[in-house]
A and B are shown apart, each in its own frame.
Chain A
């Protein structure tokens, strides 16, 4: 591994999406975004729906939207387990808006707490997705 770099991995249940050595990643933690450089102290955090930014030098090389998940950080690597991940450039605005309105309808129709929670989660995810798309 190159000096001053951290091994960053982005994994979804279906496949390994990204695995590369990067200078810094900014991860949307549950309690606020955090940047991970090499020799970060070990931590495990849950993620909120938001954008992961990969920094090389002083520029952002990759922005990936995640719908939540977990991040494990050790001094040498940063692993993000995401249930859903899309590159910010690939977000389909219309489809996301559709998803948001569907989720809102679901929330109105929800009978059980479980359905309600699922719909609320969908709303949060699609709102964050729209925000990420800009």
Chain B
């Protein structure tokens, strides 16, 4: 028979766990809202950047000497995989599913005889990748979202990547992050950053923007004047665009992380509640059994007298 005192201690400990998880859920919900607002606010820039880049790239396409960031380095031997994860756990399968995708991609590339390098943004991704690919992690950046995810940080990462690319350290760069759909659904998305695929960036967001683009539709055919020149602008625009894409990925990731944590903590709170109910039931039964036992003892003792 379970000990009454032990049961009491268990119930109290589960209760305090429930308090913690429900507080974490609340915090995650608040952070999620903020992250969503931030992602929302950053959208106009990315949209306009896409538009500009689209018209520039169309003009530059097919020309010799297009910048390498757009055209690629001419080979695809070495792949750099940027893995964006959270710094902290307790958010369900969030980190694991991102890392799983990174692992899958890496395995595939390795099987094809390519070289793979990892660049981790977020501690959890590094911790998990270190087990299998310890020699391939070139660098890790932690605490990107502390105190606040800013464009400066994304752009310093972008500059690092561009510098590495120009030094010939890799040929293709892919960012893996979780795209935010809702608090219960985050979709792990690999996005190729270098060479930059224009067509890919034109989905979704652009649709919403179409409406106010209408009056200009006819214009897109007309050629822009470029000042100083197409190439100079492209050379300036592409690294900025890379930073923007990274920034966008990180913002999505932050929203996804908080969403995942919110759901995980909600489940944990509910499970703790169930557990408390069960334990309380057992506790009461045990108490009753003890009382009954005592009564029987008293009665049988009295009858014997």
**A13-29 CB contact bits vs B (8 Å, 1 = yes)?**
11110000000000001
Give, as a whole number of angstroms, the nearest-CB distance from B234 to chain A.
10
Tell me whether B244 and A13 are in contact (CB under 8 A).
yes
How many residues of chain B get a CB closer than 8 Å to chain A's CBs? 35
Residues of A within 8 A of B155 (CB): 13, 83
B299 at the interface (CB under 8 A from A): no
Taking CB atoms and an 8 Å cut-off, the chain A residues in 58-78 that contact chain B are: 70, 72, 74-77
In the complex, what distance in Å separates the CA atom of A77 from the CA atom of B41?
20
Residues of B within 8 A of A46 (CB): 227-228, 232-233, 236-237
A42 at the interface (CB under 8 A from B): yes
Q: How big is the A interface, by class?
A: 20 to 34
Tell me whether B225 and A42 are in contact (CB under 8 A).
yes
A31 at the interface (CB under 8 A from B): yes
Tell me whether B233 and A15 are in contact (CB under 8 A).
no
A114 at the interface (CB under 8 A from B): yes
In the complex, what distance in Å separates the CA atom of A50 from the CA atom of B43?
25
Residues of A within 8 A of B154 (CB): 13
In the complex, what distance in Å separates the CA atom of A9 from the CA atom of B43?
14
In the complex, what distance in Å separates the CA atom of A9 from the CA atom of B213?
14
Q: What are 18 pairs between A and B in contact, CB < 8 Å?
A: A9-B44, A9-B48, A11-B44, A13-B45, A13-B243, A14-B42, A16-B44, A42-B219, A42-B224, A44-B56, A44-B224, A45-B228, A46-B237, A70-B237, A75-B219, A81-B48, A114-B163, A118-B159
Taking CB atoms and an 8 Å cut-off, the chain A residues in 71-114 that contact chain B are: 72, 74-77, 79, 81, 83, 114
**A37-56 CB contact bits vs B (8 Å, 1 = yes)?**
00001111110000000000
Taking CB atoms and an 8 Å cut-off, the chain B residues in 39-73 that contact chain A are: 41-42, 44-45, 48-49, 51-52, 55-56
A30 at the interface (CB under 8 A from B): yes
Partner of B41 from the list A14, A29, A74, A114 (CB cut-off 8 Å) is A14
Tell me whether A70 and B219 are in contact (CB under 8 A).
no
Tell me whether B41 and A16 are in contact (CB under 8 A).
yes
Residues of A within 8 A of B44 (CB): 9, 11, 15-16
Give, as a whole number of angstroms, the nearest-CB distance from B167 to chain A.
10
Residues of A within 8 A of B240 (CB): 70, 81, 83
Given A13-B247, A76-B216, A114-B159, is A43 in contact with B236 using a C-beta cutoff of 8 Å?
Answer: no
In the complex, what distance in Å separates the CA atom of A94 from the CA atom of B150?
23
In the complex, what distance in Å separates the CA atom of A72 from the CA atom of B222?
14
Of all chain A residues, the one with the shortest Cβ separation from B155 is A83
Residues of A within 8 A of B243 (CB): 13
In the complex, what distance in Å separates the CA atom of A9 from the CA atom of B48?
10
In the complex, what distance in Å separates the CA atom of A30 from the CA atom of B150?
26
Residues of B within 8 A of A14 (CB): 38, 41-42, 45, 150-151
Give, as a whole number of angstroms, the nearest-CB distance from A32 to chain B.
9
Tell me whether B216 and A70 are in contact (CB under 8 A).
no
Residues of A within 8 A of B233 (CB): 44-46, 70
Give, as a whole number of angstroms, the nearest-CB distance from B261 to chain A.
23
Residues of B within 8 A of A118 (CB): 159
B300 at the interface (CB under 8 A from A): no
Given A11-B48, A14-B150, A76-B215, is A44 in contact with B227 using a C-beta cutoff of 8 Å?
Answer: yes
In the complex, what distance in Å separates the CA atom of A79 from the CA atom of B53?
13
Given A70-B237, A79-B48, is A41 in contact with B225 using a C-beta cutoff of 8 Å?
Answer: yes
Residues of A within 8 A of B228 (CB): 30-31, 45-46
In the complex, what distance in Å separates the CA atom of A81 from the CA atom of B247?
15
Tell me whether A43 and B247 are in contact (CB under 8 A).
no
In the complex, what distance in Å separates the CA atom of A26 from the CA atom of B42?
25
In the complex, what distance in Å separates the CA atom of A16 from the CA atom of B48?
11
Tell me whether A43 and B226 are in contact (CB under 8 A).
yes
Tell me whether A44 and B226 are in contact (CB under 8 A).
yes
